Amino acid sequence: MRIVEQIAHPQCQITVYAWNGKYLLKFEQPMLEQTYKVSEMDLTGPDEVKSLLNEAFIARVLRRFDEMRADWQQNLSDVS
């Protein structure tokens, strides 16, 4: 797996990888991560990957992090 680019964002770390004919878009916050895969054949090149990372999509990713965190906290409460 090769790192193509790391993209600065104030609320999460975004890393683009190239691996096995795909681009992996990995979003990370402490203790959580989300990964999205797109075939290299569906894009003209690595520069097009950044066009997928528009404001609306990143907002949904951040909301999903909130949901994931809430689900995990609920799960921990249920086990205790």
Q: What is the pLDDT of residues 62-80, one digit of tens each?
A: 999 999 999 999 999 988 7
Following DSSP, what letter does each residue of 25-40 receive, concatenated?
EEEEETTEEEEEEEEG
Query: Mean pLDDT score of the chain, rounded to an integer?
Result: 94
Q: In DSSP terms, which residues pair with 38 in a beta bridge?
A: 23
What 8-state DSSP symbol labels residue 2?
E
How high is the pLDDT of residue 80? 73
Following DSSP, what letter does each residue of 56-80 receive, concatenated?
HHHHHHHHHHHHHHHHHHHHHHHH-
Q: What is the pLDDT of residues 24-38, one digit of tens each?
A: 999 999 999 999 999
Q: To which residue do tokens 């921990």 refer?
A: 76
pTM: 0.90
